[in-house]
């Protein structure tokens, strides 16, 4: 057990970072340079494998809103790009380094520029807070932990694969999924701050997530404790509680 303790302590000491705005302590084993290089590579793959929208006006609208939020992000080192993918899936994401992709499906839910800014701020917040790198680091540490604990507990070699699978399930439900929900809540908070800082109406964030709640209520959803996203009602309450805490001055 001493070996397991030493390895885990070493991982924790070697990977401390701090999330923007919330100042939450993070465990990240990947350098910012590595993460941005991964983001650039993945962005190329997305562009090559997706059908980009040919709607010039829509592209210009997304770029305008994105650049306005990027301007208050504090990351002038990011090479910002804003793309629209022709796909009915209600989705959007921002890769490390500022590579933003909006699906036309989510734009059918957004009723105005403020609601687009809600989504834009949320996705950019994930990149600013380095949630992808944090999730990768946690998964790597989980895998290392499984191997170390199996050795420390003298698990017979023929059972180690089964043990690793069981450990993975435990860590997924007990650690990684709760942190994924924490990432979503954190991105909501940072995203609302960014849209407000950029001059958009944060009250429209509530309206957007209420629209999403109505949409999701039409289909089956995983239980909240097994979901990477918080329940819509929970995130709406959290955003409603956070808006009055925004500073008086932009």
Contact in structure between 130 and 32 (CB atoms under 8 Å): yes
Retrieve residue 200's tokens.
Answer: 């958009």
Exactly one of 35, 67, 111, 123 is catalytic; which is it? 123
Contact in structure between 12 and 140 (CB atoms under 8 Å): no
Q: Judging by beta carbons within 10 Å of its beta carbon (0-12, 13-18, 19+), is residue 243 exposed, middle or buried?
A: middle
Contact in structure between 102 and 156 (CB atoms under 8 Å): no
Q: Please give the distance of CA 52 from its chain centroid, rounded to a whole number.
A: 22
Active site annotation includes 42: no
Contact in structure between 114 and 195 (CB atoms under 8 Å): yes
Q: Any idea which residue has 């909240």 for tokens?
A: 224
Question: Which SS3 state, helix, strand or coil, does residue 250 take?
Answer: coil
What Rg do the C-alpha atoms of the chain give, in angstroms?
Answer: 20
Q: Any idea which residue has 């991982």 for tokens?
A: 11
CA distance 229 to 93: 14
Contact in structure between 151 and 3 (CB atoms under 8 Å): yes
Contact in structure between 245 and 193 (CB atoms under 8 Å): no
Task: Report which of 90, 100, 39 is spatially closest to residue 65, judged by C-alpha positions.
Answer: 100
Q: Annotated catalytic sites, by residue?
A: 123
């Amino acid at each position: 057990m001493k070996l397991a303790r030493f390895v885990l302590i070493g991982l924790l000491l070697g990977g401390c970072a701090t999330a923007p705005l919330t100042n939450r302590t993070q465990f990240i084993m990947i350098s910012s340079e590595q993460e941005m290089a991964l983001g650039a590579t993945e962005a190329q793959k997305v562009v090559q494998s997706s059908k980009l929208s040919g709607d010039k006006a829509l592209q210009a609208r997304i770029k305008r809103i994105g650049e306005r939020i990027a301007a208050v992000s504090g990351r002038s080192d990011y090479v910002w790009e804003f793309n629209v993918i022709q796909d009915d899936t209600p989705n959007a994401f921002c890769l490390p380094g500022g590579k933003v992709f909006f699906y036309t499906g989510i734009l059918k839910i957004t009723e105005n520029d403020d609601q687009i800014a809600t989504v834009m701020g949320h996705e950019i917040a994930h990149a600013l807070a380095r949630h992808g790198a944090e999730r990768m680091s946690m998964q790597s540490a989980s895998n290392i932990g499984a191997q170390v604990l199996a050795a420390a507990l003298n698990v017979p070699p023929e059972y180690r694969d089964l043990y690793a699978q069981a450990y993975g399930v435990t860590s997924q439900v007990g650690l990684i999924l709760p942190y994924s929900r924490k990432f979503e809540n954190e991105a909501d908070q940072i995203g609302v701050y960014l849209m407000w800082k950029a001059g958009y109406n944060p009250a429209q964030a509530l309206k957007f997530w209420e629209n999403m709640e109505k949409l999701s209520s039409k289909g089956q959803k995983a239980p909240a404790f097994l979901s990477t996203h918080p329940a819509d009602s929970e995130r709406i309450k959290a955003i409603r509680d956070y808006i009055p805490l925004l500073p008086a001055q932009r």
